[in-house]
């Protein structure tokens, strides 16, 4: 073995490798070739074993040549790998192409019931004004449902609430959430800003606008200075939050035995916007709730001094609010639980 | 209350359009619910004059008439009525006319003669009750004028609130109009030409219970001629919603509508006499065994509390509710006794309810009547009977209580009224406003008592000198008793719209957790998991209650109500389907599933957060539960996925989701084999505890028993249900999350396949692993379940992935192997399991 022979062998290895690279069909062949030529037991290593037989003074010269050859081979392999890799990626991407216009894998979505959600929405709106939520029983006694609300037995105002009675002496199914006013006043001291959502019952045949079961949200605000004007201001905010900023509202006398003065609160017809249509019985207005200043008798039954404390109460039907907002024509839908109805809400 | 504007206009100036008037009334609290225009449906009905009336050549009962409508050739019209004669003016429906009810008039052949229209009766036009005769118009009526211009009317339907009985009258509505416009009310005339014999010789009245009948005014009209009322009276009554009967009966109804005073008239000849020959009337309660045939020809057994109008022979009427048939004014009546009385409102209301006889009259009595009205009503009725039916009015009245109480006074503080309303009206303005509804006021310089509350919690305060005004309330305004009533009256007349709105600036209440917080979190999680929220009736049928009654009763979650007590039944249900308050949600939810399946939805997943109700002795209890029902595919099929049917594991997954939301640990399940409403092999009790070890979730999950699916025709192969008590559902908040440090050191995972007997529940194997695993065992998750070779037939293999992790170091292989060895030993002696290599 001499230096010249060794140099020739190295040059031949470069040439061979170059040819093999050109013939390599894919990156795997390049990898194999890399191992075959540059690996620990590769051909370059074998060739360089011959160095040991050379005289000591020639060895550095061979080292330089060997390094040049290794660099050249590495460069050739790298270039070929890049070239083939790009092509392979290209063909893989082509092969993996799918029809991206197909629909996705469905995720089933449930929906919140519109009655409950309307109550939650009402609570969110009044929550901004400091109102907190309370709950009271659905089975009440006559005292709480009527008498403490200034509706004595055999009072003609009882005609306003057709009542379902139960076989527990003195008890009935609450006809409204208003008894909650008494419970709250007996639980906490003013200042009171309370909301009482819940289920109510009436002896009323079921039709498009009446139900034997429905929900109500009662509001109660009592302190030393809350006025009828505050009620108006707050209800305006509510109407704007619920039905849209700028909606016109109307405040007119109503009648409830447990408020004095009593109020009916209207919002401009959401269908016709005022001129009158069948939806608003040609009045241009839709009544959304009843309200009034808490009657002194009710304050007294709530344990509060009507000389010192005053405030307002209101009551509204979340289904009615929901019907107005979503243009739902039939109250019965709320308890039928048809998924084609329920699925339309969030 | 139906208010014909023609009638109202007689009592008060109306310078407003019906719409403006309706708006004014509504803004005064007299809500106008509808404006009805009468006569708009008489198209092409005009005034005509009969030129000739001759017999029809071929029909005995018909007449052949020639009619002019003032222009054009005379019309030939066939008519069947017998009250017509040449020279009369009558309503003529021309061909093309459409009458009330949609009846169209055309030129037609009638027994060989062409009829060019129709002569109309009052009934055909909806104007009077006379269906037999043609409506004969005044001889001066202008020919050719559309009838709608002459007799059309507008009727306001006013929703009079229960506290305003005084407004159940044309006079009452006129007063409201006057309050709004400032016009004067012209009260109906009540003066009577009573030149007959003294009434004392004809009628005697005795009231046995002056509490129940505070006044009875009687009058007598002799020698009347019963017949129809004048046409214009009939028209008014019909417009007001009252059917005309006869002049005498119509007079009493007329006074009820006009003055709001219910009146009853008796045939004097049918009222029993006392010794002196006078008709003798006693107002008393019923005696045992008494009965009466009422005007509707029903014989009624009388309840002892019923207040009666009686004569010496027995009852002749139920006071304030309905008269007796025997003393009814009829065609042969000649002498009439008028009853104008005031009865106790509660007694009348109870009586009307008791007999199911609530009428226009009883409604007015129930709301209370002023004493004065008894006199006015009697006089007005006598006057109208005299005018419409002739005869002579006996002189004077019998009157059991001629005292007419002075108007009530209510003292108020104008400053307090302003403070309630949020206004700055001041004393003078408030007094001006009150004057417009007939409330006179006087400033009071001395200290005076202010009525603050009345009724069941009366309360009064002393106002310092100079602060108060004393208001004198008109006798008809029984609703104004306290200072707040005055405030409403001030606001009403001032206009509610004129009360300035503002946002509250009073102190805020302190923070309070919302009882809806946890409920909302649970609901939203379930909705996110694809389950839809349902709301079902709390009132259900007895059959549903019986068939879906749970026999197991797992303990409620901490702080939640137990399901307890007997069923609560509605005593006056509207239907058997809504007669009992439910004990559980699951029956209702199966009905939701079934309803949707019938609509073609095979895949249904619903939940409800609702209450159960029970009775313990004489107390009622209510408890909150979460109910679930699943059927069909839990993962519905798509083009890229097959359907996966819902099973109990899906329901358990949802339960585990809820446990996570409320901060409870992973639920554990225990086989439930003896719950009759569930599949004995596919049901479990589920429970989970919170960090403090309290029961946070507790309930039942399983497949509905196939027997129930069949019995209720649910039309589903399988139905998965669950009902759970969840801590906080009844009003708790979400528990706060306590952070647990995350280890910085790597975890070691080991898979462990445990072979056990088929009968050994997976839960037992898991808990054996957990308990033996030591403190570094962080999680145990079942990931595979295998049966078959090489296992024995009654064996199965449960594969668990165990994760070990220490907070302070990397666990060594040795430590983990030691733990596995301990677990392996525990499995051997606790569940007879062996580790499969
Ligand atoms: Zn409208």
- Per-residue pLDDT tens over the stretch A34-53: 999 888 888 888 887 877 77
Range(s) within chain A of domains with CATH label 3.30.930.10 = 114-342
Task: Give residue A1's pLDDT.
Answer: 63
* pLDDT bracket for residue A250 (50, 70, 90): very high
The average pLDDT across A211-239 equals: 97
Q: Is the pLDDT of residue B558 over 90?
A: yes
Q: Residue B576: its chain A contacts at CB < 8 A?
A: none
* pLDDT bracket for residue A56 (50, 70, 90): confident
Contact B8, B237 (CB under 8 A): no
- Distance of CA B232 from the midpoint of ligand 1 (Å): 36
The two most distant CA atoms of chain B are separated, in Å, by: 128
Q: Which of A107, A123, A229 sits opposite B501 (nearest CB)?
A: A229
Cα B224 to Cα B234: distance, rounded to the nearest angstrom: 19
* Residue of B532, B545, B571, B637 for testing the chain A interface, max A β-carbons within 10 Å: B532
The structure tokens listed for A219 are 């509001």
Contact A258, A145 (CB under 8 A): no
Q: Write the DSSP symbol of residue B772.
A: H
How many C-beta atoms surround the C-beta of residue B439 within 10 A?
21
A296–B484 C-beta distance less than 8 A: yes
Q: Which of B528, B535, B570 sits opposite A113 (nearest CB)?
A: B535
A115–B422 C-beta distance less than 8 A: no
* pLDDT bracket for residue B450 (50, 70, 90): very high
Q: Is the pLDDT of residue B657 over 80?
A: yes
> In this structure, is the dihedral angle defined by the CA atoms of residues A206, A209, A212 and A214, taken in order, positive or negative?
positive
* Bigger pLDDT: A194 vs A56: A194
Please write down the HEC assignment for all residues of A25-91: CCHHHHHHHHHHHHCCCCHHHHHHHHHHHCCHHHHHHHHHHHHHHHHHHHHHHHHHHHHHHHHHHHH
Q: Is the pLDDT of residue B727 over 90?
A: yes
- Distance of CA A286 from the midpoint of ligand 1 (Å): 8
A297–B496 C-beta distance less than 8 A: no
Please state, for a pLDDT cut of 70, what percent of chain B lies above it: 100
Task: Give residue B484's pLDDT.
Answer: 97
Task: Give residue B732's pLDDT.
Answer: 85
Of the ranges A69-78, A297-306, B108-117, B121-130, which is most confident?
A297-306
* pLDDT bracket for residue B151 (50, 70, 90): confident
Task: Give residue B212's pLDDT.
Answer: 97
- Per-residue pLDDT tens over the stretch B385-435: 999 999 999 999 999 999 999 999 999 999 999 999 999 999 999 999 999
Could you list which residues have their CB under 5 Å from ion ligand 1?
Answer: A 269, 271-272, 277, 279-280
The average pLDDT across B323-347 equals: 96
- Per-residue pLDDT tens over the stretch B658-709: 999 999 999 999 999 999 999 999 999 999 999 899 999 999 999 999 999 9
From residue B189, how far is each of B385, B399, B457 by CA, in Å? 13, 20, 41
- Per-residue pLDDT tens over the stretch B419-428: 999 999 999 9
- Distance of CA A278 from the midpoint of ligand 1 (Å): 6
Among chain B residues, the shortest Cα distance to A133 is held by B514
How many C-beta atoms surround the C-beta of residue B787 within 10 A?
12
As beta bridge partners, residue B397 has none
CATH class for the domain made up of A114-342:
alpha beta
Q: Is the pLDDT of residue B655 over 90?
A: yes
The average pLDDT across B193-213 equals: 95
Q: Which of B26, B506, B520 sits opposite A226 (nearest CB)?
A: B506
The average pLDDT across A199-222 equals: 94
B454–A261 C-beta distance less than 8 A: no
B526–A110 C-beta distance less than 8 A: yes
Cα B595 to Cα B631: distance, rounded to the nearest angstrom: 12
- 3-state secondary structure (DSSP) of residue A271: coil
Contact B78, B120 (CB under 8 A): no
Task: Give residue A69's pLDDT.
Answer: 85
The average pLDDT across B59-70 equals: 90
- Distance of CA A328 from the midpoint of ligand 1 (Å): 15
Q: Is the pLDDT of residue B276 over 80?
A: no
CA B423 to chain centre: 34
The average pLDDT across B321-326 equals: 95
Q: Which of A212, A255, A340 sits opposite B162 (nearest CB)?
A: A255
Q: Residue A232: its chain B contacts at CB < 8 A?
A: 499-502
* Residue of B20, B456, B508, B519 for testing the chain A interface, max A β-carbons within 10 Å: B456
CA B52 to chain centre: 58
* pLDDT bracket for residue A55 (50, 70, 90): confident
Please give the mean pLDDT across all residues of chain B.
94
* pLDDT bracket for residue A68 (50, 70, 90): confident
The average pLDDT across B508-524 equals: 94
Question: For strand B409-412 and strand B468-472, is the pairing parallel, antiparallel, or unpaired?
Answer: antiparallel
Cα B509 to Cα B834: distance, rounded to the nearest angstrom: 63
N- to C-terminal Cα distance for chain B?
A: 90
- 3-state secondary structure (DSSP) of residue B430: helix
User: In sequence order, which residues have a C-beta less than 8 Å from that of residue B270 and are 6 or more positions away?
Assistant: B316, B326, B327, B328
Q: Which of B735, B680, B732, B689 is nearest to B708 (CA)?
A: B680
Q: Residue A157: its chain B contacts at CB < 8 A?
A: 162-163
Task: Give residue B739's pLDDT.
Answer: 86
């Amino acid at each position: 073995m001499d230096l010249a022979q060794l140099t020739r062998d190295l040059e031949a290895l470069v040439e061979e490798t170059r040819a093999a690279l050109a013939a390599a069909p894919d990156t795997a062949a390049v990898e194999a070739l890399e191992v075959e030529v540059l690996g620990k037991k590769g051909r370059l290593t074998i060739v360089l074993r011959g160095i040991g037989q050379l005289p000591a003074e020639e060895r550095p010269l061979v080292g330089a040549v060997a390094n040049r050859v290794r660099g050249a081979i590495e460069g050739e392999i790298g270039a070929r790998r890049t070239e083939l890799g790009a092509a392979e990626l290209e063909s893989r991407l082509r092969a993996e192409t799918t029809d991206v216009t197909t629909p996705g894998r469905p995720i089933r979505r449930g929906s919140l019931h519109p009655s409950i959600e309307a109550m939650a929405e009402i609570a969110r709106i009044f929550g901004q004004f400091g109102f907190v939520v309370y709950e009271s029983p659905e089975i009440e006694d006559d005292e709480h449902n009527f008498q403490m609300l200034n509706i004595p037995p055999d009072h003609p105002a009882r005609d306003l609430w057709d009542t379902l009675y139960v076989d527990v002496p003195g008890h009935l199914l609450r006809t409204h959430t208003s008894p909650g006013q008494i419970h709250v006043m007996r639980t906490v001291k003013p200042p009171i800003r309370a909301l009482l959502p819940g289920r109510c019952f009436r002896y009323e045949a079921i039709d498009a606008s009446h139900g034997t079961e429905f929900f109500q949200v009662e509001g109660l605000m009592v302190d030393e200075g809350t006025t009828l004007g505050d009620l108006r201001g707050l209800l305006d905010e509510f109407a704007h939050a619920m039905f849209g900023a700028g909606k016109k509202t109307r405040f007119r006398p109503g009648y409830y035995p447990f408020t004095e003065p009593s109020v009916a609160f209207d919002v401009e017809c959401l269908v016709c916007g005022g001129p009158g249509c069948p939806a608003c019985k040609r009045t241009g207005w839709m009544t959304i709730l009843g309200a009034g200043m808490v009657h002194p008798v009710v304050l007294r039954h709530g344990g509060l001094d009507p000389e010192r404390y005053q405030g307002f109460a209101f009551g509204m039907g979340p289904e009615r609010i929901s019907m107005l907002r979503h243009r739902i024509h039939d109250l019965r839908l709320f308890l039928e639980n048809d998924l084609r109805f329920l699925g339309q809400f969030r | 209350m139906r208010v014909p504007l023609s009638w109202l206009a007689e009592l008060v100036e109306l310078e407003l359009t019906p719409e403006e008037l309706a708006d004014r009334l509504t803004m005064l609290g007299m809500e106008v619910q509808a404006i009805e225009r009468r006569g708009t449906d008489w198209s092409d009905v005009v005034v005509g004059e009969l030129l000739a009336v001759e017999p029809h050549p071929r029909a005995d009962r018909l007449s052949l008439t020639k009619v002019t409508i003032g222009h054009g050739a005379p019309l030939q019209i066939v008519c069947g009525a017998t009250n017509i004669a040449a020279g009369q003016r009558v309503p003529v429906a021309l061909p093309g006319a459409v009458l009330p009810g949609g009846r169209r008039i055309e030129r037609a052949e009638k027994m060989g003669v062409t009829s060019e229209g129709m002569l109309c009766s009052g009934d055909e036009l909806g104007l009077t009750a006379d269906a037999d005769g043609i409506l004969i118009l005044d001889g001066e009526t202008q020919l050719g004028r559309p009838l709608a211009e002459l007799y059309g009317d507008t009727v306001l339907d006013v929703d009079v609130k229960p506290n305003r009985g005084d407004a159940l009258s044309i006079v009452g509505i006129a007063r409201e109009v006057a309050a709004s416009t400032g016009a004067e009310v012209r009260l109906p005339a009540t003066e009577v030409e009573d030149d007959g014999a003294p009434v004392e010789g004809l009628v005697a009245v005795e009231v046995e219970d002056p509490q129940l009948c505070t006044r009875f005014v009687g009058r007598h009209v002799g020698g009347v001629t019963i017949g129809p009322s004048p046409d214009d009276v009939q028209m008014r009554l019909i417009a007001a919603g009252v059917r005309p009967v006869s002049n005498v009966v119509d007079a009493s109804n007329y006074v009820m509508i006009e003055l709001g005073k219910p009146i009853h008239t008796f045939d004097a000849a049918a009222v029993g006499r006392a010794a002196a020959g006078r008709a003798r009337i006693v107002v008393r309660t019923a005696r045992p065994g008494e009965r009466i045939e009422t005007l509707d020809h029903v014989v009624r057994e009388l309840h002892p509390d019923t207040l009666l109008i009686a004569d010496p022979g027995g009852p002749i009427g139920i006071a304030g509710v309905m008269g007796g048939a025997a003393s009814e004014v009829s065609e042969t009546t000649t002498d009439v006794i008028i009853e104008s009385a005031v009865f106790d409102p509660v007694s009348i209301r109870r009586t009307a309810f008791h007999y199911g006889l609530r009428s226009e009259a009883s409604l007015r009595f129930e709301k209370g009547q002023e004493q004065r009205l008894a006199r006015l009503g009697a006089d007005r009725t006598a006057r109208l009977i005299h005018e419409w039916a002739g005869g002579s009015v006996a002189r004077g009245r019998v009157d059991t209580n001629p005292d007419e109480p002075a108007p009530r006074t209510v003292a108020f503080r104008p400053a307090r009224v302003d403070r309630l309303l949020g206004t700055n009206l001041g004393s003078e303005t408030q007094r001006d406003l009150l004057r417009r509804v007939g409330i006179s006021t006087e400033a009071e310089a001395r200290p005076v008592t202010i009525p603050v509350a009345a009724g069941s919690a009366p309360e009064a305060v002393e106002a310092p000198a100079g602060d108060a005004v004393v208001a004198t309330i008109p006798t008809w305004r029984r609703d104004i008793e306290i200072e707040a009533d005055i405030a409403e009256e001030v606001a009403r007349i001032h206009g509610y719209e004129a009360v300035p709105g503002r946002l509250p600036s009073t102190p805020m209440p302190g923070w309070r957790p919302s009882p809806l917080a946890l409920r909302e979190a649970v609901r939203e999680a379930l909705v996110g998991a694809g389950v839809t929220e349902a709301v079902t009736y709390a009132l259900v049928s007895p059959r549903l209650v019986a068939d879906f009654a749970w026999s197991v009763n797992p303990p409620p979650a901490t702080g939640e109500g137990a399901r307890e007590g007997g069923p609560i039944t509605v005593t006056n249900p509207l239907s058997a389907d809504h007669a009992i308050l439910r004990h559980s949600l699951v029956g209702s939810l199966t009905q939701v599933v079934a309803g949707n399946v019938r609509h073609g939805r095979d895949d249904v997943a619903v939940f409800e957060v609702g209450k159960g109700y029970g009775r313990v002795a004489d107390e009622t209890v209510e408890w909150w539960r979460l109910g679930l029902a699943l059927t069909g595919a839990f993962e519905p099929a798509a083009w890229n996925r097959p359907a996966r049917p819902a099973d109990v594991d899906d329901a358990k997954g949802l339960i585990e989701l809820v446990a996570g939301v409320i901060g409870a640990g992973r639920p554990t399940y225990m086989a439930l084999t003896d719950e009759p409403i569930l599949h004995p092999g596919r049901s479990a009790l589920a429970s989970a505890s919170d960090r403090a070890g309290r029961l946070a979730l507790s309930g039942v999950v399983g497949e509905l028993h196939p027997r129930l699916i069949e019995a209720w025709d649910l039309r589903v192969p399988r139905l998965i249900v669950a009902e759970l008590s969840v801590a906080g559902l009844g009003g708790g908040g979400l528990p706060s999350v306590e952070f647990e440090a995350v280890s910085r050191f790597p975890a070691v995972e080991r898979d462990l396949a445990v072979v056990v007997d088929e009968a050994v529940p997976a839960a037992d194997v898991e808990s054996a692993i957990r308990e033996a695993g030591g403190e570094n065992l962080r999680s145990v998750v079942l990931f595979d379940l295998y049966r078959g070779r090489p296992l024995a037939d009654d064996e199965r293999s449960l594969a668990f992935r165990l994760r070990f992790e220490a907070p302070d170091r990397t666990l060594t292989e040795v430590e983990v192997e030691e733990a596995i060895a301990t677990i392996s030993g525990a499995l051997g002696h606790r569940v007879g399991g062996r580790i499969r290599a």
